[in-house]
A and B are shown apart, each in its own frame.
Chain A
Amino acid sequence: MVLPINAVQETMRANPSLLHGVGQGGRLLSNRGELIPIIDLGCIFGLRDDPAPLEEGVLVVVETDSQKRAALLIDGIFDQRQVVIKSLEENYGRVPGVSAATILGDGKIALIIDPEEIVLSSSNDRGRTAMTLAANG
């Protein structure tokens, strides 16, 4: 997966002193004097059912165009690179939370994440329901 770098503010390992739980599943990160939600990308994309433990992943703090901030939980970072954007819609269709695809150096396809959509859709339950509904057709 690829994340546009203009959305990325910083990346970090989860520091337990900065993490706070809210209610059942909500997790917050205290960052630059602000509490921001932690979004497990694996769950958002349906790749795993249970949220991953925060200690094992990497947190990427993103800011969207609408000034909303969130920390995306990912498994790891490879590197930073320039990519050519390939349309997914041409041969397939739209995928929620994904803006396009790209082809990596080894020929594999990586999906480009749309942080705006991810943050907005998980910022409220209504958005999440809409996304699930949309995904199920």
Chain B
Amino acid sequence: MFESMSHNSIGKSDVVAFKLADQDFCIDIGLVREIRGWSPTTVLPHAPHYVKGVINLRGSVVTVVDLSARLGFGATEPSQRHVVIIAMHERRIVGLLADLVSDIVTVEDEHIQAVPDLASDPAREYITAMITFEDGRILRKIDLALLLPSPEEGAA
């Protein structure tokens, strides 16, 4: 389950933490290419509701996914203060719209827990692990593969 994390040394790995609707989420740092401010997108016709559109990232056409809408918190009204996390997944580049990036955290494997059984919640489907901290904070780790529109879905 945790093999996909990029370990910096034995038993430790780094994640990028960000906020969405006042909850802390994170993704594996190995997937993140860069973090940039929000810029207006070109809307795609017939796209799923959580796809904000495409942006020009140094000549590449990159899809921006509204994480808040994807996780069931409702659509984001993006402003200058929002951030887009550019991530690479299976050779596809994707932008993830989040409220703010808070930190890069080193996580010890022993603090990673499986997700407790919750009632069916859209967010639950995309969270693969919970990371607890001694001060009581928790990070929800998101699985990019589950989150993104599949090429077939885009083709549809």
Asked whether any CB of chain A lies closer than 8 Å to the CB of B46, the reply is yes
Asked whether any CB of chain A lies closer than 8 Å to the CB of B156, the reply is yes
How many angstroms between the C-alpha atoms of A47 and B46 in the bound complex? 9
Asked whether any CB of chain A lies closer than 8 Å to the CB of B146, the reply is no
Identify A86's interface contact among B45, B48, B61, CB under 8 A.
B61
Contact A46 B46 (CB under 8 A): yes
Chain A residues near B105 (CB, 8 Å)? none
Asked whether any CB of chain B lies closer than 8 Å to the CB of A11, the reply is no
Query: Could you give, for residues 65-99 of chain A, a 1 whenever the CB lies within 8 Å of some chain B CB and a 0 otherwise?
Result: 00000000000000000000011111111111110
Residues of chain B at interface, number, CB under 8 A = 29
The residue among B40, B48, B154 with the most chain A CB atoms within 10 A of its own CB is B154
Identify B60's interface contact among A86, A97, A111, A137, CB under 8 A.
A86
Identify A91's interface contact among B42, B61, B150, B153, CB under 8 A.
B61
How many angstroms between the C-alpha atoms of A44 and B61 in the bound complex? 22
Chain A residues near B45 (CB, 8 Å)? 44-47, 95-98, 111, 135
How many angstroms between the C-alpha atoms of A62 and B108 in the bound complex? 61
Contact A109 B55 (CB under 8 A): yes
Contact A135 B44 (CB under 8 A): no
Closest chain-A Cβ to B27's Cβ sits at a distance in Å of: 17
How many angstroms between the C-alpha atoms of A95 and B48 in the bound complex? 11
Contact B151 A109 (CB under 8 A): no
Contact B59 A103 (CB under 8 A): yes
Closest to A47 in B: B45
Q: Is the interface of A mostly helix, strand, loop or mixed?
A: loop
Supposing A109-B56, A135-B156 touch, asked if A95 and B61 sit within 8 A by C-beta, the answer is no
Supposing A134-B156, A137-B153 touch, asked if A95 and B56 sit within 8 A by C-beta, the answer is no
Supposing A88-B54, A90-B92 touch, asked if A95 and B153 sit within 8 A by C-beta, the answer is no
Contact A93 B42 (CB under 8 A): no
Identify B156's interface contact among A46, A91, A110, A137, CB under 8 A.
A137
Chain B residues near A94 (CB, 8 Å)? 154-155
Identify A111's interface contact among B42, B48, B62, B93, CB under 8 A.
B42
Closest chain-A Cβ to B153's Cβ sits at a distance in Å of: 6
Chain A residues near B55 (CB, 8 Å)? 109
Asked whether any CB of chain A lies closer than 8 Å to the CB of B63, the reply is yes
How many angstroms between the C-alpha atoms of A135 and B154 in the bound complex? 8
Asked whether any CB of chain A lies closer than 8 Å to the CB of B78, the reply is no
Identify B46's interface contact among A45, A90, A109, CB under 8 A.
A45
Supposing A134-B156, A137-B153 touch, asked if A91 and B46 sit within 8 A by C-beta, the answer is no
Can you list 7 A-B contacts (CB < 8 A)?
A44-B45, A89-B155, A91-B61, A97-B45, A101-B54, A109-B42, A137-B153
